[in-house]
Amino acid sequence: MGGYTVITTMKNEAAFLLEWVAHYKALGFDHLVICTNDCADVTVEMVLRLQDLGLARHHPTRHWPVTSIQRSALKQARRYVEVTEAEWIYVCDADEFLVVKVGDGSARALVAAASTEAEVISVAWRVFGPDGRREYVDAPVTGQFCRAGAEDLRQGIYAKSLFRGLENMQRIGIHGPIPRAELGRPLRREMPGGIGISPQVNAMLAARDYRVAQVNHYALRSLDSFLVKRDRGRVNHTGQTMEAEYWDRFDVADVECDAIRRYDDAVAAWRAQLQADAALDGLHMQALAWHLTKIAELRGQADYAPLLAALEERISKCAPPRS
C-alpha cells in the first residue's frame, strides 16, 4: 500500500467536503481516511461515495467517553491499511489546508525540503479570519478568505505534523505523534526553514516560520457557517461551547496572503472530476441546501440572538460590511 495518507475527522462538513478532498489530492496524497460522527447532513453519504470511487476510506467513529471524539477517531483509524502501511501520515481538520511553498507544492516536496533524518515535520498554523463576511456562499473557502495573521517569527503558534509512518509511534496525536516509550529517545522533529520545534509539547507549538510551508486554518469561515460549526460542537474539546471568545481568537485578517493560489488549477481539475460523478454532485447539492436550511434555523432561535448581536457588533466595528 505505502504512500502518503491524510486522516481527518468530520461532522456536518458536507458543504465543504469536495474542496477539501480536491486540495489534498492536488497535494499528491494517495489516501484519505475520513472519520465521521453523528452527521445530520450528507457527509457520510458523500464519503461513502468517494469510497466507492476509490478516493477515500470512510470510518464511522465510535466515541469512547474516556477521551474526545477526535482522539477516539485517531486511535480507531489505525485499523486501516492506508494508515498502518503509510510511508508518511498527516492529521488535519476539514478547515485546515496544507500549503507547501517549495518544489512542486506537493507533500512529497515538503518531505524533500526536510533532512533525511526527520521523523516529524511540523508546519505552523496561519489563521485566515472571516474578514467581515457574514453570509455563506457556495464558493471555495480558500478563495473567499484571503487575509491572514501577520508573520511574526518570535511568537509560538499551534502546528500540524506530517510524520514518517507508525513504526516508532505509540499514538497518533492531533498536532503530532507520540513516540513509543521503548524507543528511548525523542522523535527527530523539525520545521523546514530552520526554526526548531519544542519537543516538550509534542510539536503542538512551533514558531511562525512560513518560508517553506504553512497550514491555512479557516476556523470560522463566514458568520453563517460559524453558527453551524457552533451547533455541531467541538471534536477535541468535547463539551466546550464556542462563544464570542472563540470568534475573537480566530477573527484575524491582518495581511493578504495568496500562497494557496498555486493550487488553483489542480484543485479546479480535481473538483471538476469529482462533480462529474452524478451521484457525488447530487449529494453536494443536497449538502448546500442542508447548510442553508441550518443557518436559517439557527438564526431564528432565540438562544442564538445574544451571540449573533455580539458578533454583528464586532464585524461592524472591525471590518467593512460584506455579504
pLDDT tens figures, 169-227 = 999 999 999 999 999 898 998 887 654 444 444 445 666 789 999 999 999 999 999 99
Domain assignment of residue 193, yes or no: yes
Instruction: State phi, psi for 206 to the nearest 5 degrees.
Output: -140, 160
Average pLDDT over residues 110-123: 93
Distance CA(323)–CA(308), nearest Å, equals 15
Domain span holding position 284: 4-318
Residue 119 contacts residue 188 (beta carbons within 8 Å): yes
Domain assignment of residue 115, yes or no: yes
Instruction: State phi, psi for 298 to the nearest 5 degrees.
Output: -70, -40
In this structure, which amino acid lies at residue 260? I
Domain assignment of residue 323, yes or no: no
Least confident of 104-113, 205-214, 271-280, 306-315: 205-214
Could you tell me the pLDDT band of residue 240, with boundaries at 50, 70 and 90?
A: low
Spell out a b/e string for 85-107, using b for 16 or more CB atoms within 10 Å of the CB, else e.
Answer: ebebbbbbbbbbbbbbbeeebbb
Average pLDDT, the chain: 91
Domain assignment of residue 273, yes or no: yes
Residue 57 in this model has a pLDDT that exceeds 90? yes
Domain assignment of residue 286, yes or no: yes
Could you tell me the pLDDT band of residue 150, with boundaries at 50, 70 and 90?
A: confident
Look at the chain and report how many structural domains it folds into: 1
Residue 235 in this model has a pLDDT that exceeds 90? no
pLDDT of 165 reads 96
Domain assignment of residue 310, yes or no: yes
Residue 73 in this model has a pLDDT that exceeds 60? yes
Instruction: State phi, psi for 26 to the nearest 5 degrees.
Output: -65, -30
Distance CA(192)–CA(171), nearest Å, equals 23
Could you tell me the pLDDT band of residue 237, with boundaries at 50, 70 and 90?
A: very low
Q: Model-level pTM?
A: 0.93
pLDDT of 201 reads 41
pLDDT of 10 reads 96
Joined together, the cell numbers standing for residue 185 give 529517545
Least confident of 44-58, 111-125, 147-161, 290-304: 147-161
Cβ neighbours, 10 Å, residue 38: 14
Domain assignment of residue 294, yes or no: yes
Domain assignment of residue 227, yes or no: yes
Instruction: State phi, psi for 221 to the nearest 5 degrees.
Output: 55, -140
